[in-house]
Amino acid sequence: MTATEQQRLLLGVAALHHVVRHGRSAVVVAPRREDAEVWADALREHLPETSLATGRVLVTTARAHARGEVREGPTVELLLAVDAERFGTPGLAAALDARCGWRLGISGGYRRSDGGLARLTDPYFSGGVVHAR
């Protein structure tokens, strides 16, 4: 993992810690299974008191989340999108759950040439994408 990836991960962990500390739930939505596994491992390491099994934090892929294949609690407060620029496609943008009041996108390269960010992700995040490189 590069230093930049580590910075993005720690920023996300801090946001998740804040949400959980206030008794709320969160979902981490990753574009690929490998990304979801990295985040799940990081949460086990950096937030050991927050077991993923308690349901406070759910880590899943965008496709599984969009299809409703994962169970989540009724009040998911934060949706954290890993590699937010990848959600500029209709398939992945379907995972951006409008019920989540708090939204954070994390990106190392928030740009696309197809207009997907302006159409799909920017309106969802309303300026809540952190671009760290």
Transcribe 96-113 into DSSP letters: --TT-SEEEEEESS---S
- Residue 68: what pLDDT? 79
CA atoms 6, 114, 118, 111: torsion sign: positive
Please write the tens of the pLDDT for every residue from 7-36: 889 999 999 989 888 888 899 999 999 999
Domain that holds residue 20: 3-131
The two structure tokens encoding residue 9: 């991960």
Render the burial of 62-80: b for 16+ CB within 10 Å, e for the rest. bbebbeeeeebeeebbbbb
| CATH number of the domain enclosing 110 | 3.40.50.300
The two structure tokens encoding residue 39: 């985040």
- Residue 99: what pLDDT? 84
Q: Rounded to 5 degrees, what are φ and ψ at 58?
A: -110, 130
Render the burial of 19-39: b for 16+ CB within 10 Å, e for the rest. bbeeebbbbbbbbeeebbebb
Please write the tens of the pLDDT for every residue from 82-124: 999 899 999 999 999 888 889 999 988 888 888 888 888 889 9
Please write the tens of the pLDDT for every residue from 60-88: 999 998 887 765 555 788 999 999 989 99
- The pLDDT-based confidence of 50 (bands split at 50, 70, 90) is low
Q: How, if at all, do strands 129-131 and 102-107 pair?
A: parallel
Residue with token string 């949706």: 79
How many other C-beta atoms are found inside a 10 Å radius of the C-beta of residue 41?
A: 12
| Domain count for the chain | 1
- Residue 107: what pLDDT? 87
pTM of the model: 0.88
* Residue bearing the bigger pLDDT, 49 or 63: 63
